[in-house]
Structure 1
Amino acid sequence: MRRSVRTITTLAVGAALTAATLTAVAPAPRAAATGACSNSGTGIPLPFDFGSLGFPRGGAAQGPQKPLPHFDNGRTRTVSWVTGPRSHNQTFGRFGISGTDVGVAWDNGRGQTLMAFGDTFGNCLRQDRGWRNNTLLRTTDRNLADGLTLSRTGYAGPMFGAVGFSGIEKTKIPTAGISIGGKQYVNYMSVRAWGPPSRWDTNYSATAVSSDNGRTWFTPQSTIRVNVGVDAALPAGWPSVNHVNPLFQQSAYVEGRGADAGWIYQYGTPNGRFGSAHIARFRPGDILDPSRYQYWTGTRWGGPASNPAPIVRRPVTELSVAFSPVLNKYVMLDSPNGVLMRTASRPQGPWSHARRIAPASLELYAPMMLPSSPALRGTGPELYFNASRWDDYNVALIQTRVR
Structure 2
Amino acid sequence: MTGPESPNNTAGRFAITGTDLGIMWDNGDPVNRQVLMAFGDTYGYCSVRGQQWRYNVLLRSRDGALANTIAVPDGRMADRYSGAPLWAPGLAKQIISSIRFARDERGIIPTAGIAVGGKQYVNFMSIRSWDADGRWTTNFSAIAVSPDNGERWGVYPDSVRPAAPGVVERAQYVRGYENFQQGAFLKPGPGDPYVYSFGTPAGRSGPAYVARVSPAALPDLRRYEYWDGNAWVPGDPGTAVPVIPGPVSEMSAQYNTYLNQYLVIYGNGLNDIVIRTAPAPQGPWSPERLVVRSMDIPGGIYAPYLHPWSTGKELYFTLSLWSAYNVMLMKTVLP
TM-score (norm 1): 0.74
Q: CA RMSD in A?
A: 1.9
CA positional deviation for 1:157:
0.5
- Work out the CA distance in 2 between the residues paired with 1:127 and 1:205: 30
Is the partner of 2:178 in helix, strand or coil?
Answer: helix
Structure 1 pair 169–163 and aligned structure 2 pair: CA distance change class (3 A)? farther
CA positional deviation for 1:239:
3.5
Q: What is the aligned counterpart of 2:291 among 351, 357, 379?
A: 357
Equivalent position of 1:268 in the other structure: 199
Equivalent position of 1:192 in the other structure: 128
Q: What is the aligned counterpart of 2:58 among 136, 141, 149?
A: 136
CA positional deviation for 1:146:
2.1
Equivalent position of 2:276 in the other structure: 342
Q: Aligned ranges for residues 183-332 of structure 1 at < 5 Å?
A: 183-228=119-164, 239-258=171-190, 261-305=192-236, 307-332=239-264
CA positional deviation for 1:389:
0.5
- Work out the CA distance in 1 between the residues paired with 2:291 and 2:116: 31
Q: Does the Cα contact within 8 Å between 1:253 and 1:265 map onto a contact in 2? A: yes
Structure 1 pair 391–126 and aligned structure 2 pair: CA distance change class (3 A)? farther
Equivalent position of 1:99 in the other structure: 18
- Work out the CA distance in 2 between the residues paired with 1:127 and 1:171: 19
Report whether the alignment pairs 1:112 with 2:34: yes
Equivalent position of 2:84 in the other structure: none
Structure 1 pair 127–344 and aligned structure 2 pair: CA distance change class (3 A)? farther
CA positional deviation for 1:129:
2.5
Q: Aligned ranges for residues 144-183 of structure 1 at < 5 Å?
A: 144-153=66-75, 154-162=90-98, 168-183=104-119
Structure 1 pair 163–206 and aligned structure 2 pair: CA distance change class (3 A)? closer
Equivalent position of 1:368 in the other structure: 305
Q: Which amino acid aligns with 1:212?
A: D
Higher relative contact order (CA 8 A, sep 6+): 1
Give the percent of matched residue pairs that are identical in Structure 1 and Structure 2.
42
Structure 1 pair 127–86 and aligned structure 2 pair: CA distance change class (3 A)? farther
- Work out the CA distance in 2 between the residues paired with 1:310 and 1:156: 38
Q: What is the aligned counterpart of 1:392 among 306, 324, 329?
A: 324
- Work out the CA distance in 2 between the residues paired with 1:342 and 1:173: 25
CA positional deviation for 1:161:
2.0
Structure 1 pair 276–369 and aligned structure 2 pair: CA distance change class (3 A)? same
- Work out the CA distance in 2 between the residues paired with 1:314 and 1:371: 25
CA positional deviation for 1:124:
3.9
Is the partner of 1:318 in helix, strand or coil?
Answer: strand
CA positional deviation for 1:257:
1.5
Q: Does the Cα contact within 8 Å between 1:342 and 1:355 map onto a contact in 2? A: yes
- Work out the CA distance in 1 between the residues paired with 2:112 and 2:99: 21
What do residues 62-116 of structure 1 show as CA deviations (whole Å, max 9, x unaligned)?
Answer: xxxxxxxxxxxxxxxxxxxx00000000100000000000011000002200000
- Residue segments in structure 2 that go unaligned for 5+ positions in a row: 76-89
TM-score (norm 2): 0.88
CA positional deviation for 1:147:
1.7
Q: Does the Cα contact within 8 Å between 1:297 and 1:309 map onto a contact in 2? A: yes
Structure with a larger share of its residues in helix: 1
Report whether the alignment pairs 1:123 with 2:45: yes
- Residue segments in structure 1 that go unaligned for 5+ positions in a row: 1-81
Q: Which amino acid aligns with 2:285?
A: W
CA positional deviation for 1:303:
1.8
Q: Which amino acid aligns with 1:214?
A: G
CA positional deviation for 1:241:
2.2
Q: Does the Cα contact within 8 Å between 1:201 and 1:271 map onto a contact in 2? A: yes
Equivalent position of 1:90 in the other structure: 9
Is the partner of 1:302 in helix, strand or coil?
Answer: strand
Q: Does the Cα contact within 8 Å between 1:163 and 1:170 map onto a contact in 2? A: no
Q: Aligned ranges for residues 40-119 of structure 1 at < 5 Å?
A: 82-110=1-29, 111-119=33-41
Structure 1 pair 116–348 and aligned structure 2 pair: CA distance change class (3 A)? same
Q: Which amino acid aligns with 1:135?
A: V
Q: Which amino acid aligns with 2:215?
A: P
Q: Does the Cα contact within 8 Å between 1:229 and 1:246 map onto a contact in 2? A: no
Range with bigger deviation, 82-91 or 305-314: 305-314
Q: Which amino acid aligns with 1:267?
A: F
Q: Which amino acid aligns with 2:19?
A: T
CA positional deviation for 1:240:
4.6
